[in-house]
Structure 1
């Protein structure tokens, strides 16, 4: 991949954060919604690890430009 004059060669963590934040907030809002509905807290927190895991994977993919050469 050829870099233009203004592009950096370091990982773009800010772009990754901007891409992942809406999905992370939506997942956390879902956990809060389940807690306010009165469902047992165990079920609400059972979905928290997959939400966090997918968010971390997405952040890694965006921050390291893993997907740039695949599109």
Structure 2
């Protein structure tokens, strides 16, 4: 009876694990947080920009800040989804 042993070697070099075809893919928790921040930041900036625009137009501040909770909630929810790979098994 012959047994074979195979050794799996992991490469920990970050440059060699980068895939230019899928730049948002990640293998570690730190990269997941970075990926989540990169994905959520544009939408958060657009939402806060809309808030500033509404305030600049002279609308009553109460109505302008009424859109702030949905902006923050959606941004926080998107951050959680991207940072925990919640949807990784559905793609």
TM, length-normalised to structure 2: 0.69
* 1:24 counterpart = 2:24: no
Q: List alignment gaps of at least 5 residues for structure 2.
A: 1-9, 12-16, 18-26
Report how many residues are paired: 67
Higher RCO, 1 vs 2 (CA within 8 Å, ≥6 residues apart) = 1
- For residue 51 of structure 1, the aligned residue among 49, 71, 84 is 71
**Larger helix share, 1 or 2:** 1
Q: List alignment gaps of at least 5 residues for structure 1.
A: none
Query: After superposition, what is the alpha-carbon deviation per residue over 1:8-63, rounded to whole angstroms, capped at 9, x for unaligned?
Result: 2x361000000000000000000000000000000110000000000000000000
- For residue 60 of structure 1, the aligned residue among 42, 55, 80 is 80
TM, length-normalised to structure 1: 0.87
Which is further off, 25-34 or 10-19? 10-19
Greater Rg over alpha carbons, structure:
2
The Cα RMSD (Å) is 1.5
Runs of 4+ off more than 6 Å: none
User: C-alpha distance in 1, partners of 2:87/2:43?
Assistant: 18
